[in-house]
């Protein structure tokens, strides 16, 4: 039996994936300032014009690479969140994110402001997407507060600020503290989770029923973030 030929849409998608893979590898290897569209086209086996069919410029392409890294991290975590609602608690999500970032050098580069790797991408970004992410995080905090799983005396904005400052501090400390005085990655993740648990969460063990009740709301918020990032990865150009 002769298999059906792949559709044009599927070919475009696979081609976009190949270009993104090449861009990610070169960005990690050479850094933002050294990688050109010509390099990416050659590495992915397409013409330079083909790259521009998907993304209008180099910065947009590299931003798509970063957003795809985050989308993949979310997708990898999704099954765990569905099967284990307790992993939706703030300190558990922070632990998962820390470990995911340590496995993905480009996400890590964002947090440590690695200008050599990311160049102007360290400060660039879609303001609308950034605002959506912050709003989703604030909504997540409010869901936890209403379920009495988080302190009620802090606003979502305040929690977000402390979250970003703390997790960035943990990343930056790795270049400041001599290696022999650092715990391993798993232990660092445990310590970071403990900081968030002791700082933000209610001391009493969370009731399983409360976690089960809020799981669909949080899953919806996480899905919205992933969908917004997914749209930024491919945009309208990938369908041309």
In this predicted model, what pLDDT tens digit does every residue of 15-57 receive, in sequence order? Answer: 999 999 999 999 999 998 899 999 999 999 999 999 999 999 9
Q: What is the pLDDT of residue 1?
A: 37
A 10 A CB-CB count for 175 gives: 8
Q: Is the pLDDT of residue 236 over 70?
A: no
**Domain residue spans of the chain:** 68-232
Give the pLDDT confidence of 54-85 residue by residue, as tens digits: 999 998 999 899 889 988 888 888 889 888 98
DSSP state of 1: -
Looking at every residue in the chain, the average pLDDT score rounds to: 86
205 secondary structure, DSSP code: P
Residue-level pLDDT at 239: 42
Euclidean distance between CA atoms 134 and 156, whole angstroms:
9
Report phi then psi at 37, rounded to 5.
-60, -35
**pLDDT one-digit tens code per residue, 108-133:** 888 777 777 877 776 666 677 778 88
pLDDT at 5: 42
Across 163-168, average pLDDT: 89
């Amino acid at each position: 039996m002769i298999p059906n030929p792949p559709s044009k849409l599927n070919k475009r998608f696979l081609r976009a994936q190949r270009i993104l893979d090449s861009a990610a590898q070169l960005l990690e290897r050479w850094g933002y300032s050294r990688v050109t569209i010509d390099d990416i086209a050659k590495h992915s086996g397409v013409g330079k014009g083909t790259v521009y069919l998907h993304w209008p410029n180099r910065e947009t392409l590299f931003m798509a690479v970063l957003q795809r890294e985050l989308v993949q991290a979310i997708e990898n975590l999704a099954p765990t969140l569905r099967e284990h609602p307790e992993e939706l608690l703030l300190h558990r999500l922070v632990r998962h994110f820390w470990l995911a970032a340590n496995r993905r050098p480009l996400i890590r580069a964002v947090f440590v402001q690695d200008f050599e790797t990311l160049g102007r991408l360290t400060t660039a970004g879609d303001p609308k997407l950034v605002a959506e992410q912050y709003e989703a995080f604030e909504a997540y905090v409010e869901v936890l507060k209403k379920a009495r799983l988080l302190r009620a005396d802090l606003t979502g904005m305040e929690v977000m600020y402390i979250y970003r400052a703390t997790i960035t501090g943990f990343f930056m400390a790795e270049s400041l503290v001599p290696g022999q005085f650092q715990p391993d990655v798993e232990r660092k993740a445990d310590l970071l989770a403990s900081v968030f648990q002791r700082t933000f969460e209610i001391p009493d063990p969370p009731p399983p029923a409360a976690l089960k009740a809020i799981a669909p709301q949080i899953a919806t918020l996480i899905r919205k973030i992933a969908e917004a990032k997914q749209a930024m990865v491919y945009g309208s150009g990938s369908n041309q």
